[in-house]
């Protein structure tokens, strides 16, 4: 009987610690963040031909509201596009209203609705989780017929 009680107490304390970590992360994430960098790559492959696009120089803001589970994201970055032996740099954005976000102690997921009304679900692994500094990693592979897109980038954020 003592073993059953002891094992139950251990299981309860482990689950409380896990919930506590998620809640602590949620409290940390609540508020306004400055994006100090967005850097990474997108590799697009179609019928065996691959192109690598470099994402760099990203800056902007992310705001997360814990009570409503909503927020906003406005990040502008450069994308280097190879073309005909040269590389062209264009501006792009990751921006919109966060209509829902949630987290564990290891990741953050959100639904982002852009100005055209298009929504996308984003999932970030938390690499650094501190009160005043965050680093999130985004990795996604999309296969569509003969084409594949691999996106990998990192967002670095500092508390405002």
Q: Which two tokens stand for residue 17?
A: 């610690």
What CATH code is carried by the domain that includes residue 143? 2.40.128
- The structural domain count of the chain equals 1
- 14: containing domain: 2-159
* Cα–Cα distance for residue pair 129/126, rounded to 1 Å: 6
pLDDT confidence of residue 25 = 80
Residue 1 carries which DSSP code?
A: -
For residue 19, what pLDDT is reported?
52
Query: Does the reported pTM lie above 0.75?
Result: yes
At 12-46, the pLDDT tens digits run: 333 334 456 666 887 889 999 999 999 999 999 99
């Amino acid at each position: 009987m003592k073993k059953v009680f002891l094992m139950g107490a251990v299981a309860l304390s482990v689950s409380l610690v896990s919930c506590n970590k998620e809640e602590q992360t949620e409290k940390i994430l609540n508020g306004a963040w400055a994006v100090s960098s967005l850097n990474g790559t997108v590799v697009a492959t179609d019928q065996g031909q691959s192109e690598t696009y470099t994402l760099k120089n990203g800056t902007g803001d992310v705001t997360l509201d814990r009570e409503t589970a909503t927020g906003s994201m406005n990040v502008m970055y450069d994308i280097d596009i190879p073309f005909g032996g040269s590389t062209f740099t264009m501006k792009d954005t990751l921006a919109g209203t966060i209509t829902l976000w949630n987290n564990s102690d290891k990741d953050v997921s959100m639904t982002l609705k852009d100005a055209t009304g298009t929504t996308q679900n984003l999932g970030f692994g938390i690499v650094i989780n501190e009160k005043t500094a965050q680093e999130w990693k985004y990795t996604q592979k999309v296969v569509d017929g003969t084409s594949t897109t691999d996106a990998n980038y990192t967002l670095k954020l500092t508390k405002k």
